[in-house]
Amino acid sequence: MTSQNVHRKGEAGQASVVELLGDVEGLVSPPDVCLRLFEMIHSPTSGAKEISAIVNVDPNLTARLLRMANSSFYNFSRKVDTVSRAVTVIGNAELYQLVLSISAVKTFNTIPNELVKMETFWRHSVYTGLLARSLAVRANILHPERLFVAGLMHDIGSIILYHQRPEAMRDILLMADGDEEVLYQAELEQFEFSHASVAGYLMDQWQLPEELVDAVAWHHEPQRAQVSQREASILYLANHLVNESEQGNFMGSPKADIQISQAMLDIIGLQEDELFFAFEEAAEQFPVTLQALI
């Protein structure tokens, strides 16, 4: 991972992230299907038949992929009943991101932790991804589906910290009392890095685009993003708005309303009244998307 994408205080923080993940490398490595799919999608000789053959090897992945393809997330007028059809109507790049999302949920669910309920964690992550995507559509961001993946994975670094640093994270969670900004600052003071930088590093290892890695690594401080300030700002906004909701807050209870600065809306390219419609759309897609992924 490039140095600008690792949130740290000096080189010690970067080294600590690498050390932290070295202990769980086998648990967080991208599944073989993702690596093979990535290579196949970038091969000039591959087509829908070859790509679908990789996915079809895993019946569980195939079923979840088709559930997502036929949900309100895409809202296709005709049923998508095969993976090859999904490749055709969704496209190679987005299919990879969808497979990666499904695989990420499965992978990070295997990492034990005693600090948070995984159902609550994924509800927050899925809702944040859906809202980030909806905001990106309204802001005319290119390929807004990327923001769903970024939102879904924006807190995966927390799972690693809960597993690897349980005592410190227990104290930090108690101190934060459901406030992610307090949690974020406490992580920086305790570790010299945060769950956001760990997530960014992991997404880099999973071969996600640099702009998404950057956006996730800086989703608590979007003004510091190096290559994707708009995307980082969308994640920041989606994360905070979801934390105000009953269904998607990250610790089981909603927080007080946040103040959204006009400067941030200007950076993203949104009007404040568009937030309501984006939230309404995300809320409509939330139940079926959660069921398809989790």
Reported as a single tens digit per residue, the pLDDT across 39-49 is: 988 888 888 88
Q: Summarize the confidence of residues 143-169 as an average pLDDT.
A: 94
CA distance 44 to 19: 37
User: With bands split at pLDDT 50, 70 and 90, how would you rate the model's confidence at 85?
Assistant: very high
User: Which range marks the domain in which residue 194 is found?
Assistant: 15-28+105-293
| Total of domains in the chain | 1
Is 117 contained in some domain? yes
How far is the C-alpha of 271 from the C-alpha of 235, rounded, in Å?
A: 16
Domain assignment present for 167: yes
Domain assignment present for residue 84? The answer is no
Hey, what's the torsion of the CAs at 71, 265, 212, 277, to 10 degrees? 0
- Would residue 158 count as lying in a domain? yes
For residue 88, tell me if it sits in a domain. no
CB atoms within 10 A of CB 228: 24
The confidence score (pLDDT) of residue 245 equals 85
On whether the CB atoms of residues 130 and 286 are closer than 8 A, the answer is yes
Amino acid identity at 149: V
* pLDDT(198) > 70: yes
**C-alpha to C-alpha distance for 160 and 167, rounded to whole angstroms:** 13
- Whether residue 8 is predicted with pLDDT greater than 50 in this model: the reply is no
Per-residue pLDDT, averaged over 82-87, amounts to 92
pLDDT for res 70: 92
194: left (phi over 0), alpha (psi -120 to 50) or beta: beta
- Give yes or no for residue 12 having a pLDDT over 70: no
Better pLDDT: 222 or 75: 222
Q: pTM for the whole thing?
A: 0.90
Residue 152 in any domain: the answer is yes
Which pLDDT score, from 0 to 100, does residue 3 have?
Answer: 39
CA gap 191, 189 in Å, rounded: 6
> Does residue 100 lie in a domain region?
no
Q: What is the CATH number of the domain that holds 117?
A: 1.10.3210.10
The pLDDT, as a whole number, for residue 284 is 93
> What stretches of the chain show up as alpha helix (H) in DSSP?
11-22, 25-28, 32-41, 48-56, 59-69, 83-90, 92-108, 118-138, 145-153, 156-164, 166-176, 180-191, 195-205, 210-217, 229-243, 262-268, 274-293
Is pLDDT at 174 greater than 60 in this prediction?
A: yes
More reliable by pLDDT, 255 or 290: 290
- pLDDT of residue 172 exceeding 80, the answer is yes
Give the pLDDT confidence score for residue 97 in this predicted structure.
87
Give a yes or no: residue 95 inside a domain.
no
CB contact at 8 A, 192 and 9: yes
| Phi, psi for residue 21 in degrees, rounded to 5 | -80, -20
CA atoms of 13 and 238, how far apart (whole Å)? 27
Q: Are 293 and 105 in contact (CB under 8 A)?
A: yes
What mean pLDDT is predicted for residues 11-37?
Answer: 79
